[in-house]
Chains A and B, each alone.
Chain A
Amino acid sequence: MNRQSRRAFSRYSVAGVLGVSHSGWLRALADSVVDPHQHPPRRSCILLWMHGGPSQIDTFDLKSGHENGGPFREIQTNVPGIHIGEHLPRIAEQMHRLTLVRSMSTKEGDHARATFHIKTGYPPQGPVAYPPIGALVARHLSDADCALPGFVSISPARGLTPSTLGAGFLGSRFAPLTVGGGLAEASDAYAPDVPGLDAAPGIDGPRAQHRLDLLLSHQRTFLASHRDGPHVAHQAAVEAAIRLMHPDARSAFDLDEESPSLRDAYGRTHFGQGCLLARRLVERGVPFVEVTLGGSNDGTSGWDTHYHNFEAVPRLCRVLDTAWSTLLDDLQSRGLLDDTLVIWAGEFGRTPKINQMQGRDHYPTAWSTALAGGGIHGGGVVGRTSRDGTAVEDRPVSVPDFLATVCLALGIDPGESHVSNVGRPIHIVDKSARPLTEIVR
């Protein structure tokens, strides 16, 4: 909060001012909410997170001639020479915006470890609490005046290690606000929501405002007599939470503001509506939004297709194809695509060899990711795998390579470092990284 609004704020926080309308002192806080049209966003990032490890051979790196290829066919894209799987037809029409990375090669085959590795760029061990890329982007690209948090995670997979949902040593200020999700299939009316934005039932607007007034005034004594400690960050979190409760800020989450036809175009699924929300958040200055597909919602078992891979993948691709292509179109039509990097990735790929249950198992040795939008040249492919899909033949890409590329596309220096929880400075991305500079604009 800038100094101006702090002074106005304290004027309203005198206790006992019953009868002041709901927008009373909250108006002062609202002054600090950034009008997105006055402050053009710096680059933003939307991570489409494919929880479970999506099969590359069935999506972006088909091996149609080989027995590992399975039953799916290749289709042409709108870029000559690039072919992808038949279940992503609309993305195929947008290939000019995408760069495929077919040569991801890593070593982690366990879900939790691999997720941690790709999201933080570091291995999941040791005392250092590495922050995920979302927290790092929030740290570097957030607007301090924005009432929305810098890192939002939509329908994340539950039950994973909590560390992938936090902010590591950057501190809770950059931890993701988690929104939406749930185990049941989405209804037509589904919209991701932030739990706890409303005061408890039975507490009407004036009473809620009154309580907040009393609280903020009561806090002053303790804050004055205890100048240092975790309660200081707590006070900042309380103020940030209150700003988020303001109608102007929370309206970001109100999908009813969008036309029903647009909501249909994204698909009435957790993931589809999540992508729509991601666009709205990016529009309002949120620098990093993660939308998860396959996290035990949407009625699917996610991308972890050890069994019945060839039934699950088309279902997932339908949801993905609809939402992803609409997102790119929507961002483009609002003039946001040039400043928004859209990443498609999971924690690893799946075995080229089909197993006995018509499924594919975990495979980190050779897999695919995709990048589109701001900072990236579209219409290309990086790397190549062998004919049977088991090995990378050209330009292996490690996680640090990948994350360094993401940083460059967003205008962040991957070599910058932050002091960690053990006192040692840690680079945003490990120094050994070789970013794909050829695809960065």
Chain B
Amino acid sequence: MLEDELNVSIRERDQVAIIDLMGDVTTFAEEKINTAYTKVTEIGAKKILLNFRQNDYINSAGIAILIGVVTEVNRNSQRLAVSGLSQHFQRIFRMVGLSQYIDIYQDEEEALHGLASA
């Protein structure tokens, strides 16, 4: 009931691999997020968008998972962006330093526009 509340799905738009994250990004999310990242990387994605849903719950374990994704993105010379984060989690991303490595957009459309010119 309270443990694993995350749905992860993959789609593509404008040559951007979009990973939709619906739910909580906590310790239970690790396998799902890493699997999705591996899949889009295997099909050659160079631009990846993590599309969050406003007001979901991200905790420090979730941040650690995302740092792991950034590590791989840097290693694989990909570009990573996020959209749909609440103001609170945008601030947390800035505090942690994730915003130095991830482009933060308000929503999916803005992200696709930004990534198209990147």
A and B interact: no
Please list the residues of chain A having a beta carbon within 8 angstroms of any beta carbon in chain B. Answer: none
Please list the residues of chain B having a beta carbon within 8 angstroms of any beta carbon in chain A. Answer: none
